[in-house]
């Protein structure tokens, strides 16, 4: 029997909306949070199943807003370990071009399982590789998401500007505009759920200025407007990209974004590092979301996202682990720790608190995905909850439980609930043979590199 009515009783600590007292617990009814109880309070109605949470710190399920699941097959690959973005991409593209549906299924399952175990309940993926034979990549990912019982924003990515036309990716990895648009329409029609509690959503996501035509950017924006879905792309990640935009379009990145009709609140951007004050003001004015990817930005030495300036201007900030070839771990709670630390280097210790970083990983990320039903522990929100225990050596002697998650380096949730259903119990994913998955995935990764 599913847990339709459950009282998560007297948690050790919680991270609630507006710091609301939840020391009496959280009541879940039909997959939604129906009550937040203060000290000594009981649920309004009797007869709830009780889950004793006295050893758990309870967070809203974390939300990852940028990833490339397929890249779990090329983690820590020798030739690119010490490369910055452009040479890193040029070396990896031919390997990625050999991706198959079977390999993508394994890669997606691994990325999702890893995210889930790190406290993540909703994951966005940016999939832009559709070589011959992999035309149904997003359909493959939908299956993986359903198997894990998570929520996902699967973005129909695209590459349409190959080397032959001055782009970065090799010709065999690019598609014609018409093919991209038709598949985008099909996927939205087939999978995009609307309204509260949606499990699967689709967005449109041309890859980056250096891998798509301006035409496909404009057409994607028009289609997103027409079908009311969100827009996602990489922008202002490196200075090489800025140089590319200046040379090819005679525009800086934000001018380019504006020129193709993307400077809007429908858009969220991965990275968003190299902006001047005027560009930050324009992004804020438009309400364009920025997904901060701290680990990836450090690994590729791309730079530091100006999060606080963007937020002050009005641009929402969320977090993303980015693909596993540039942040080889898909771990959301560790990503919040990375955000805390890299942003302190930019803005100082007083301004960047654990609560701020956790807020980016939850409510901020929800805003990027255009969702108001997830990302907060509050009445009426989906019962997507992450439960962490502080019983490992790394937490011993810690005092404030919420701060301890980030400062002591929590890396694994003990339990996960999504829409009121337990998906992780005692650190194990319900119904998934992880050992078998690792064995199959390792084999697939070896084959992919071998060619
Ligand atoms: Zn990326």
pLDDT in tens, 111-156: 999 999 999 999 999 999 999 999 999 999 999 999 999 999 999 9
Task: Dump pLDDT digits (tens) for 186-199.
Answer: 999 999 999 999 99
Hunting for tokens 């990833």 — which residue is that?
67
Report the candidate in 298, 296, 307 with the shortest Cα–Cα distance to residue 272: 307
Share of the chain above pLDDT 70, in %: 99
Interstrand relation of 317-319 and 49-52 (parallel, antiparallel or unpaired) = unpaired
What confidence score (pLDDT) does residue 263 get? 98
How far apart are the C-alpha atoms of 97 and 345, rounded to whole Å? Answer: 37
Tell if the pTM clears 0.75, that is, is over it: yes
pLDDT tier for residue 403 given thresholds of 50, 70 and 90? very high
Distance of CA 189 to the CA centre of its chain: 23
Task: Dump pLDDT digits (tens) for 250-295.
Answer: 999 999 999 999 999 999 999 999 999 999 999 999 999 999 999 9
Interstrand relation of 421-425 and 428-429 (parallel, antiparallel or unpaired) = antiparallel
Tell the CATH superfamily of the 5-60+374-429 domain: Urease, subunit C, domain 1 (2.30.40.10)
pLDDT tier for residue 3 given thresholds of 50, 70 and 90? low
Three-state secondary-structure class, residue 268: strand
Q: 182 CA distance to ligand 1 centroid (A)?
A: 24
How far apart are the C-alpha atoms of 273 and 278, rounded to whole Å? Answer: 14
Q: 157 CA distance to ligand 1 centroid (A)?
A: 11
**The domain 62-368: what is its CATH number?**
3.20.20.140
End-to-end CA distance of the chain: 47
How far apart are the C-alpha atoms of 147 and 129, rounded to whole Å? Answer: 22
pLDDT (mean) for 318-327: 96
Give the pair of three-digit tokens for residue 306: 């100006």
- Do 124 and 153 touch, CB atoms closer than 8 A? yes
pLDDT tier for residue 17 given thresholds of 50, 70 and 90? confident
Q: 242 CA distance to ligand 1 centroid (A)?
A: 16
Give the pair of three-digit tokens for residue 51: 């889950």
Show Cβ contacts of residue 379 under 8 Å, excluding neighbours closer than 6 positions: 33, 34, 35, 36
Element (H, E) at 223: helix 214-227
Share of the chain above pLDDT 90, in %: 97
Among positive and negative, which fits the CA dihedral 84, 90, 95, 97?
positive
Q: 67 CA distance to ligand 1 centroid (A)?
A: 6
Q: 119 CA distance to ligand 1 centroid (A)?
A: 21
Q: 229 CA distance to ligand 1 centroid (A)?
A: 20
What confidence score (pLDDT) does residue 4 get? 76
Q: 280 CA distance to ligand 1 centroid (A)?
A: 21
Q: 294 CA distance to ligand 1 centroid (A)?
A: 12
Give the pair of three-digit tokens for residue 300: 């590729």
Ranges of CATH 3.20.20.140 domains, the chain: 62-368
pLDDT (mean) for 389-415: 98
Give the pair of three-digit tokens for residue 369: 């995905």
Element (H, E) at 216: helix 214-227
Does 337 have pLDDT greater than 80? yes
pLDDT (mean) for 401-430: 98
- Do 413 and 118 touch, CB atoms closer than 8 A? yes
pLDDT (mean) for 86-109: 96
Ranges of CATH 2.30.40.10 domains, the chain: 5-60+374-429
pLDDT tier for residue 1 given thresholds of 50, 70 and 90? very low
């Amino acid at each position: 029997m599913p847990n339709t009515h459950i009282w998560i009783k007297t948690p050790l600590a919680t991270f609630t909306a507006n710091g609301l007292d939840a020391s009496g617990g959280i009541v879940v009814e039909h997959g939604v949070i129906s009550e937040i109880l203060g000290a000594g309070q009981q649920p309004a109605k009797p007869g709830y199943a009780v889950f004793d949470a006295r050893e758990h710190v309870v967070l809203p399920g974390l939300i990852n807003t940028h990833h490339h699941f397929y890249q779990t097959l090329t983690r820590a690959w020798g030739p690119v370990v010490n490369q910055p973005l452009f040479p890193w991409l040029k070396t990896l593209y031919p390997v990625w071009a050999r991706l198959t549906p079977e390999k993508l299924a394994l890669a997606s399952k691994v990325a999702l399982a890893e995210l889930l175990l790190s406290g993540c309940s909703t994951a966005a993926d940016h999939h832009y590789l559709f070589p011959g034979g992999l035309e149904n990549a997003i359909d493959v990912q939908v299956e993986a998401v359903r198997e894990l019982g998570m929520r996902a924003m699967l973005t129909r990515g695209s590459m349409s500007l190959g080397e032959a036309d001055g782009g970065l990716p090799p010709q065999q990895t690019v598609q014609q505009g018409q093919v991209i648009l038709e598949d985008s329409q099909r996927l939205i029609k087939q999978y995009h759920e609307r309204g509260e509690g949606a499990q699967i959503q689709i967005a449109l996501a041309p890859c980056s200025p250096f891998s798509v035509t301006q035409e496909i950017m404009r057409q994607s924006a028009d289609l997103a407007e027409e079908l009311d879905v969100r827009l996602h792309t990489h922008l202002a990640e490196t200075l090489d990209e800025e140089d590319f935009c200046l040379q090819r379009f005679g525009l800086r990145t934000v001018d380019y974004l504006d020129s193709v009709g993307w400077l809007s609140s429908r858009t969220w951007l991965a990275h968003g590092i190299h902006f001047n004050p005027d560009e930050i003001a324009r992004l804020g004015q438009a309400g364009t979301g920025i997904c901060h990817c701290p680990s990836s930005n450090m690994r590729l030495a791309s730079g530091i996202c100006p999060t606080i300036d963007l937020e002050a201007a009005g641009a929402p900030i969320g977090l993303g682990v980015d693909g596993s070839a540039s942040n080889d771990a898909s771990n959301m709670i560790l990503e919040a720790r990375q955000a805390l630390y890299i942003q302190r280097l930019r803005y100082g210790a007083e301004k960047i608190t654990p609560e701020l970083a956790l807020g980016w990983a939850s409510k901020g990320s929800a805003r990027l995905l255009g969702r108001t039903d997830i990302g907060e522990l509050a009445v009426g929100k989906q019962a997507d909850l992450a439960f962490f225990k502080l019983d490992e050596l790394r937490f011993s002697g810690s005092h404030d439980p919420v701060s301890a998650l980030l400062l002591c380096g929590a890396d694994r949730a003990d339990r996960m609930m999504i829409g009121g259903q337990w998906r992780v119990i005692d650190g194990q994913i319900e119904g998934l043979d992880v050992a078998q998955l690792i064995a199959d995935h390792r084999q697939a990764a070896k084959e992919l590199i071998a060619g």
